[in-house]
Structure 1
Amino acid sequence: MIVTVWRHGEAGQAAEDRLRELTPAGERDVALGARRLREICRKREQPLPDALLYSRWQRTTRTARLIAAEFASLSPVAEDSLIPGCSPAHVESTLDRLWCEQRPPEHLVLVSHQPLVTRLVDHLTGQRGAVPPHPPGGLVTLSVEVPAAVGAGLLWWAFPPNYEACV
């Protein structure tokens, strides 16, 4: 399974953290990132995203919708293991569940928050700091052979403003 771990786009301020919305720059970055993800997948002959899970907080909900707009077959689904305060182990349980489905996704996108996105990449690869910490809108794509810590292969990472694929 290919797993893309995506941090929500740049967000503004709000009375409550969960209500923060994307800034116009955050929306532009995520829309560009989604287009670039499509291009990178095609260029590297990787499957396009076919499943998208996101934290139900406002900024991640909007990020997920912008990504889904680029991939017509995606139907974003809120996932509680991606909200702030959760751990990589919570997400690993979600991956276990998906892995056991009759038809697991080929390319799963997970939209969440810092520090979970960086910790999750470290957890899945078994390498702390293999990728720079996710900035707002940043994404990291991994090849996950089993839904467990240690062993995921880094395919690429791409960060705003240009989303150039790096390995």
Structure 2
Amino acid sequence: MAGRSGLPFRRPTTRTIDMAPKEYLVRLQHGITGGFAPPTPNAIHQLTRSSDNPDSLFIQSMVRPDGTPSLQPHPPKELTQLDDPGHASNSLVDELHTILKEIPTEQPPGSEDIYGMDTSIMWASEDLEWMNGGPSGCGRGTSVVQPTDEQKAKFKRAVEIITQLTQLES
């Protein structure tokens, strides 16, 4: 269908935010690429919402301080009152869920850090399993899937969302 200019008519796209499931696991890892040795993570954050306790989001974090060889655990946190639709975490998790449904992962898995951030996200829920990675050890390759600049920006936003969630207080 062509518009008056003769160019194809494109309807404006609107982005709808899906509601995230009530049960999910999210893991963010900074430091995913390795060389001869496996990668040394700088931080790992895990967020869990389970059907056993659907009104809570459990957050566990481990961070490697500069100049140290290993990750140090931070005290776990629990965000409560997630049944309140106005809770700050709900809209962030819904946005994250929507983003991950829209962006690709590298193929084959572990071949290349296609987002170039040395960062991995893993999401597991009933409706979505998503994980990106990067090469570790001696194995390197090129992914047959390469993200667009828009998809790279969405991945960066996904990392920001998880970081925001780890910083929320009940």
| Shorter-chain TM-score tier | under 0.3
Comparing both structures, which one devotes a greater share of its residues to helix? 1
**Structure with greater contact order relative to length (CA < 8 Å, sep ≥ 6):** 1
TM-score, length basis structure 1 = 0.27
TM-score, length basis structure 2 = 0.27
Larger radius of gyration: 2
